[in-house]
Structure 1
Amino acid sequence: MRKLFAATVVASVLALALAGCGTKNTTGNGAPPAGEQATDQQVQKAESLLDKIKAEGKIKIGTEGTYSPFTFHDPSGKLTGFDVELATEVAKRMGVEPVFMETQWDAMFAGLDSERFDLIANEVGIRPDRQEKYDFSDPYITSPAMLAVHKDNTTVKDFADIKGLKAAQTMTSNLTDIARENGAEIVPVDGLYQAIDVLATKRVDVTINDGLSMLVFLKEKPETPIKIVAKYPDAAHNGFVFRKGNEELVEAVNKALDEIKQDGTYLKISEKWFGTDVSN
């Protein structure tokens, strides 16, 4: 009986040992030890965003689609504009297809954070608080902020005059910061067109908006009852925006931008939309 029991114990021990030999060896964090092949998930994790974009053959670009002349829809419904055209040319130089994903301005950065798109092309001002969280391309356009009022307004002549007045602004724009700094009461709007509409109908007193955008708008619709009364002294430098940690993608975009400027393509796009070079 004792011999039978002993034989049973030995057999059990051998079975456990053999089972242990068949178990895949891993490190404490679940990663394979040196010399073993990584899983597909680990390979994907190590892959850079630029590698992923090139592998898929497309780059996802966040933009408003309501911000003329930078990103808007023409009468046929096609998405167009300075930023759209420039971003399309950048994608072409990178050998990938641009896929534009339209988003309201106030949700633009949240869309980038959630990886809904790979970069933002929407004339975004480069400023220190944004640079703490995001990376920017080299500047590709410079434009001053301008203060506009209704044509009947004779009291507002400069930014210092807007204290206590209602200003139509998108909530997270650097242009809104200028309005706040000068004591205006912010009235939220979705974009330039809505800001001009509420100003023209006297539902607000002022709006501070991109100077190039307003000049183009008034050139196309000179009957609009608003006027520009002041230009902000510090012009904004704007660039494409990226999530932190994607240096290879930033470098690839900057390389494409430099090529576009060097071979004259930038000047052609700039003159098409503004009649001049807006890079400086």
Structure 2
Amino acid sequence: MTKKLFSFLLRGALALMLSGTCIAAPAFADEALAKLSVGADPDFRPISFMGPDGALQGYDVDFATALAKHMGVPLNYEGMAWDGIIPALQADKINAITNIAITDARKAVVDFSQPIMKQSIIAVVKADSPNQSVSPDDLKKAKIGVMTGTSAAEALAAMPDLSPTTYNTVIDAYNDLLLGRIDVVAVESVNGSYLVESQFKGKLVVTSEPLTSSVTLNGVALRKGSDKPLAQVNEAINKMKADGTLKDISRKWFGNDTNVPE
């Protein structure tokens, strides 16, 4: 075999291999969802957590169940580490995150539905703390704790001269607060106040004013470019608002419906 013929055959083989690789990796297809596959943090009361029977329960479980029903599709709901939620969505291991804060950083990598929940960022301190009111300026002199990957963590990141200690769960942060390792925990109002009332009553308190004046909105996250699924999800959310389902779920878990956007 001559060198020219060998070179020609080699180039042809490489071209065929590259062509086969392209065929084997098709682009993401923008199609309506035939099933709702949701991933959620299994340790984020009252949004999603393991019940006594070992099954996931919480606000988000009820919301996802109702969303799938209004979409007319079956639901698969599974727990996974929060810091792996968006990567799992991007890798198509799940096709939705049904309750996640809408931020500019996340908008760059996922698509969001219309808002389903509104909340603020609050501060939690020990019940016997002399500082029952905490301002952003106070945080500069305090040891702060926050759960990683949350909108509370993003709010702190936007404040200058802060170096918070990060935790995998809010419970871990609250326990360190009780031990005196930190002075204050920044957390989303719905999750943070529920945990204080249900598990740390008399030990921790929510301060009188929120840490930020802005309201955080939560929505359903889908893969980037999911135009048809997004329309499908938004239509179902509109139905849930119209028939009172969203407010019913909120009242069940939070005792009120003030966190439901109009």
CA distance in 1, matches of 2:121, 2:30: 37
Distance 1:182 1:276, change over 3 A: farther
Q: Does 1:138 align with 2:114?
A: yes
Q: Does 1:275 align with 2:255?
A: yes
Cα-to-partner distance string for 1:116-172 (whole Å, 9 max, x where unaligned): 110112x32112222122110100000111011222332463221011533222232
Q: Equivalent of 1:91, from 64, 68, 90?
A: 68
- Describe the shift of the 1:46–1:79 C-alpha distance in structure 2 as closer, same or farther (beyond 3 A): closer
Is 1:265 aligned to residue 249 of structure 2?
no
Q: Call closer, same or farther: CA 1:187–1:258 in 2, change over 3 Å.
A: same
Structure index of larger Rg: 1
Instruction: Give secondary structure in 2 for the equivalent of 1:208.
Output: strand
Between the aligned partners of 2:49 and 2:28, the Cα distance in structure 1 is: 36
Aligned equivalents of 1:221, 1:101: Cα separation in 2: 24
- Specify the alignment match of 1:70 in structure 2: 47
Given that residues 200 and 224 in structure 1 are in contact (C-alpha distance below 8 angstroms), is that contact kept between their aligned partners in structure 2?
no
Aligned length: 237
**Same amino acid, percent of matched pairs:** 24
Q: Is the 8 A contact 1:143 1:237 kept in 2?
A: yes
Q: Find the counterpart in structure 1 of residue 4 from structure 2.
A: none
Query: Which of residues 98, 123, 128 in structure 2 aligns to 1:152?
Result: 128
Contact in 2 for aligned 1:66/1:191 (Cα 8 Å): yes
- Are residues 1:126 and 2:106 paired? no
Asked if the contact 1:170/1:190 (under 8 Å) is kept, the reply is yes
**Are positions 1:242 and 2:222 aligned together?**
yes
Aligned Cα root-mean-square deviation (Å) = 2.4
Label 1:216 to 1:197 Cα distance change in 2 as closer, same or farther (>3 A).
same
With over 3 angstroms needed to count, the CA separation of the structure-2 counterparts of 1:242 and 1:46, relative to structure 1, is closer
Aligned to 1:109: 86
| Aligned-pair CA distance for 1:243 | 1.3
Per-residue CA deviation, residues 19-72 of structure 1 (Å, 9 max, x unaligned), is: xxxxxxxxxx68xxxxxxxx9x79x8685342xx41xxx321111011111111
Extract structure 1 runs of 4+ deviating beyond 6 A.
none
Q: Which residue of 2 aligns with 1:48?
A: 30
* Matching residue of 2:56: 79
Query: Where do 5+ consecutive residues of structure 1 fail to align?
Result: 1-28, 31-38
Q: For residue 275 of structure 1, what is the amino acid of its counterpart? A: G
Conserved? CA contact 1:60–1:98, under 8 Å: yes
> What are the Cα deviations for residues 205-225 of structure 1, in whole angstroms up to 9, with x where unaligned?
211111122222222235352
From 198, 201, 207, the equivalent of 1:223 is 201
Question: What secondary structure is seen at the aligned counterpart in 2 of 1:193?
Answer: helix
Contact 2:67 2:236 in 1 (8 A): yes
For residue 60 of structure 1, what is the amino acid of its counterpart?
S
Q: What TM-score, normalized by structure 1, do the two folds share?
A: 0.77
What CA distance in whole angstroms lies between the structure 1 residues aligned with 2:27 and 2:223?
A: 16
Q: Which residue of 2 aligns with 1:195?
A: 173
**Distance in 2 (alpha carbons) for counterparts of 1:127 and 1:85:** 24
Quote the Cα distance in structure 1 between the aligned partners of 2:247 and 2:151. 26
TM-score computed with the length of structure 2 as normaliser: 0.82
Corresponding residue for 1:16?
Answer: none
Give unmatched runs, 5+ long, in structure 2: 1-18
Question: Aligned equivalents of 1:266 and 1:169: distance in 2?
Answer: 28
